[in-house]
Each structure stands twice: as structure tokens, then as C-alpha cells.
Chain A
Amino acid sequence: MAAVMAPLIETRGLTLHYGGLKAVDGVDFTLEAGEIHALIGPNGAGKTSFVSLLSGRRLPQSGRILLAGEDITRLPAQLRVRKGIAYTFQITSIFPRLSVFDNVALAVQAQGTRDLENRTRAALARVGLDGLEEQEAGTLSYGHQRLLELAMGLALKPRLLILDEPTQGLAASEIEGFKALVRSLVPETTVLLIEHNMEVVMDLASRITVLTFGRVLASGTPAAIRANPAVQEAYLGA
């Protein structure tokens, strides 16, 4: 198949069980290059589990994942990162005892060590953490740790950036900055955004997929999703 025509990500019948619990249950999903695609659904719907399969943190029991037409279902996580899939953790996962600078430098140097210092500072400036380079990352406020997590994701220069509830813990003023930042990423970077804040979702997303009980309930434009009775019942109305 021609890679130009293939969507950036395509999953077929993707399934992940934890013991008896089907966290992801036969998901068919398509992500077009260049879009901001929101993944929403109630707590425990399987959103984090689903993107863990995309990023390679977990391997599925069945189903397939294609990245621009190439099967990456069994590819180890670190190789997917090198192919351009970056994941920012829902539960902040930084290097708490290292400096803010070192945290981001680790992401930058994974892409090559030339001009490391400047590229690191640039990534920090992009999320507004410049000036905090020397601070120990674990002592940052929660919101700043979220931004650091985002800076590490950006520094990987991904084709696909998966953001798992990035605005959780951000102040209202920081959310505005965050939205502008995400908008500035597309179309070079495709964004898959897991988000509970519906205002952010409706503002940013060009497409929305709704997940419940590990299944896709609906997928479409924000207007179509808002008008979908099943979605209203299962999620928005709740």
C-alpha cells in the first residue's frame, strides 16, 4: 500500500485484557496525519490503556497497529519513539531528582547530541519553563511538572504526540498557553489528545473519538459528536 495514502495510525481489532477485564476491546481506529484528534470517555473507559498500546508501553493480546502503513504491533516502545511516536504520561513521569535541564536534555540528546544546550533551552522556553533550568524537577509545582512532561515530549520532535490529560493540574491561565502551543504544533506534528476538559477538546480537536468500556462508541467531528444521542447519554449528559 502506498505510504502517502495510509493514515498515520490505524488499528484493527485492538484488544488488551487485564486478567478478565477487557480494557481495550476490539478497537478499530484511524488517525489522519496533521489533525488534532481528541480521545474522550468516562473514567476507566480504556483511554490510557489504548494509547499504551500505540506507544508500546503494553502489547495487545490481539489486533494490529499500523504506523503509516507499517505494522508496529510488536515493536518495542523505544523503537516506536525513534519512529516518531511520543507519549506524555497521565501520571507525571519525570526524573524527579535531576534538574529541569537534565530532564529535557535527556529527550533532546536521544535525537542527537549536537547543540544540546541550545535545543534544550529552546524546548523549555516553548512551554514557559525557561529560567527554571537548574531547579530539581521533583520540587516543581504539579502544573510545572506537567509542562516539563510536555517539554520532554516536544523535544522528541515526534510525528505523533500523544498527550494523556495534559491540562490536569494546570491553572486557567496556563491552559490558554497550552492550547496555543498545541495549535502551533499541527500540521507538522499530529496530536492525539486525551482530555476531560470539554472546553479544551471542543476548542482544539478537529476529530473526536469516544471510548466507553474499551469500545469505540462514536467518532466524528466535534459537531457530530455533540449531536450524537448515544454520546450524550453515555458521557456528555452524565
Chain B
Amino acid sequence: MRRNGLRVWALHLALLAVLASAQFWLSPYLATNLARIMVLAVFAMGYNLAFGYTGLLSLGHALLLAAGMYAAGLPALLWGWSAGPAFIAGLAGGGLVAAVLGLLALRTAGVSFMIVTLMFAQAGFLTLLYFAPVTRGNDGFAVAAASRSFLGFDLSTDTPRFLAAFAIFATGLLVSLALMRSPFGRTMIAMRENEERSRMLGYNPFTVKLAALTLSGLYAGAAGAAYALLFGYVGASFATIQYSILPMLYVLMGGAGTTLGPFLGALLMFALVEAATGLTTAHQFIIGAALVALVLFAPKGILGTVRERWAKWLP
């Protein structure tokens, strides 16, 4: 796992270099889309830590995304916090809610875990609606321009927004790579592969999974906060089941348990939806067909298949 270090870091840094330069050769429209994709990819990378590496099949990650989004957005709305503190609050909100979710839901496993996380996310969504006077419910609210500034840069303008999205994405990617090359990453994978054996090596599955889920929540929180601050909107629709399924689709398409899979999946799904929307009104059908094809021909996702066939060294 620690071997091939040079090759692995070079690959990741090369991808980051290409992405950083993209703002110079993409149209502003596409660059903004890429910023959105990078933010969604952060969410998917977090999902990947829980699902792809640790084997926790959650259907409740929308709750964690929304936790970050509201933990950043509400202080901005109510008290006029600026982007820096609001982002930290979102990060912490995602991590904290994930830890609480884990304490309750990790008493279960497998299908029960899916159902319990789904139910908590649904409860979170209903809570947002219930407190509509504060949260603005389904309508949501716009984040004020004053809160969308960071160190004097206006995050609602193209270049600062792109750079902020890139910085968060790069941090998330490098942290997850470092994690997967660390002993703790190996322990996470051990939970996915053989929990009973891990226990008999002295690991407490509950605490390992709780830590992994909390990490996952930090990513989701960061993504939710970034979405609110960079794109200026907070709404309860982000807490719906759709946003729990989305990162799973990204991860499955790009390759569960690969560091680059979440980004690749987010990019391709985004492109697919764009292309399909241009071609036909039945774009949901095209996405469905793509997923069926994927499950049939590359059940390990794109990078999972690449790793199996050609590049065993991919982390």
C-alpha cells in the first residue's frame, strides 16, 4: 500500500495541475460547472471513505451535506458571518452530525444500517421543514453577498469561486490519498473486507467505523458549506434522498474504493446529464441506461476496473 509512492503522488498532483489550469482554457460557463463538480466530488470523496473504503453503505449522506450547508448558511443569514468562519462551522457541523449519526446507526450493519441512515436523513429533512421560520424550508434562502467574501475576495465571482472550489477539492483529495496510504486507511479497508478478523486482531469495529463516518461527515460538511458560500443558495432540497443517492452513483461510476473515482464519477455524471438534457427530455432514462451498462460491464466502476486489469498500484 505504501509502495509506488512516487507514481501515485505524481498522478494526483498532475490531475490537480490540470484542474488548476482549467480556468484559463475553459469558458467561464464550463469553469463554473467544473467548480460545481469539484464541490460535489468532495461530497463524493467523503462518501467513498465510508462506503468505498470502510464498507458502510449509507443512504443518509444528504443529512451530512445539509448539516454543512446549514451550519455555514444559517450563521451567515442570521448573524452575517463571513465565508471563513461559516466554512469552518459547516465543516464542524458535518463532522458532528456524522458522529452522532454513527453513535446511533453503527449499532446496526448491512441493510439495517441503510434503513436507519435513510430514516435519520428523512428526519433531518422534515426537521428543516418543521423549523421553516428559521430555515426557510423548501424555498431556502440566498446567502448574502457580504457573507460570500473571503480575505477580501468575492466568492460569487468566477476566479475566486473557482480557486476556492479547487483549494477545497485539492485538500480533500490529498487528505484522502494520505489517509489511504496510512495505517488507519488499511484499518478502514480491513473493516470492509473482514470485520470479524479485524476484531480478532484487536481492532474495535465500532470505533473504527465511527471515525471513518465522522471523516466522511467532515467532507460532506465541507462540500455543503462550500456549495452554500460559492453558489449562494441554501435549501431543504439538498437534504432529500436524491442527495444521498447522488454521491453513491458518482462513487459507483468512478470506482468505489479508489481515490480518484469520486471525481471521475462526478465529472462523467455531470457531463452525461448535460449531454442528455440537450438531446432529449428523457435524460433520466439515459442516466439509468448508463448505470445499468456500468453495473453489467464494469461493476467495480471505471477506476476499479482499470486497477484490476492494468494498474494494480492505483490507491
How far apart are B105's CB and chain A's nearest CB, in angstroms? 20
Q: Could you say which residues of chain B place their CB within 8 Å of the CB of A82? A: 202
Let me know if A77 and B186 touch, CB within 8 A. no
A106 to B198, Cβ gap below 8 A?
yes
Query: Would A87 and B197 count as touching, CB distance under 8 A?
Result: no
Q: Which residues of A contact B187 (CB under 8 A)?
A: 106, 109
A87-112 interface code vs B (CB 8 A; 1 in, 0 out): 10100011111110110011101110
- Residues from chain B with a CB closer than 8 A to the CB of A93 are 194, 196-197, 200
Selected from A57, A78, A99, A105, the residue in CB contact (under 8 A) with B202 is A78
A98 to B257, CA, bound (A): 13
CB distance from B200 to the nearest CB of A (A): 6
**A109 contacts B193, CB within 8 Å?**
no
Contacts of B193 in A (CB 8 A): 95-98
State which residues 160-207 of B face A: CB under 8 Å.
Answer: 183, 186-187, 189-190, 193-194, 196-205
**B204 x A78 contact (CB < 8 A):** yes
Q: Is A55's beta carbon under 8 Å from chain B?
A: yes
Measured CA separation A230–B4 after assembly (Å):
60
* CB of A175, distance to nearest CB on chain B (Å): 24
Contact present for B1 and A57 (CB under 8 Å): no
Nearest Cβ in chain B — how far from A96, in angstroms? Answer: 8
By size class, the interface of chain A is: 20 to 34
With A102-B1, A105-B186, A109-B186 as given contacts, are A81 and B202 in contact (CB-CB < 8 Å)?
yes
Q: How far is the CA of A215 from the CA of B268 in the complex (A)?
A: 63
A-chain residues with CB within 8 Å of residue B202 when the two chains form the complex: 78, 81-82, 110-111, 156
B197 with A113: CB separation less than 8 A = no
A141 to B193, CA, bound (A): 19
User: Is A116 part of the binding interface, using a Cβ–Cβ cutoff of 8 Å?
Assistant: yes
**Given the complex, which residues of A lie within 8 Å of B194, measured CB to CB?**
93-96
Q: Are B186 and A87 in contact (CB under 8 A)?
A: no
Decide if B197 touches A110 in the complex (CB within 8 Å).
no
Interface presence of B7 (CB below 8 A): no
List CB contacts (< 8 Å) of A42-57 with chain B: 55, 57
Given contacts A95-B190, A98-B189, A102-B1, contact A109 B200 (CB under 8 A): no
Contact digits for B201-227, partner A, Cβ 8 Å, 1 yes 0 no? 111110000000000000000000000
Interface core residue of A77, A95, A106, A116 (most chain B CB under 10 Å): A106
Q: Which 9 A-B pairs have the closest CB atoms?
A: A81-B202, A110-B202, A109-B183, A95-B193, A93-B197, A113-B183, A78-B204, A110-B201, A78-B199
**Which B residues are closer than 8 A to A by beta carbons?**
1-2, 183, 186-187, 189-190, 193-194, 196-205
Q: List 26 A-B contacts (CB under 8 A).
A: A76-B204, A77-B200, A78-B199, A78-B202, A78-B204, A81-B200, A81-B201, A87-B200, A94-B194, A94-B197, A95-B189, A95-B190, A95-B197, A97-B193, A98-B193, A99-B1, A101-B1, A102-B1, A105-B186, A106-B186, A107-B201, A110-B201, A110-B202, A117-B2, A152-B201, A156-B201
**Given contacts A95-B189, A106-B186, could you give 17 more A-B pairs where the C-beta distance is less than 8 Å?**
A78-B199, A78-B201, A78-B204, A78-B205, A89-B197, A93-B196, A93-B200, A95-B194, A99-B1, A102-B186, A105-B183, A106-B190, A106-B201, A107-B201, A110-B202, A110-B203, A152-B201
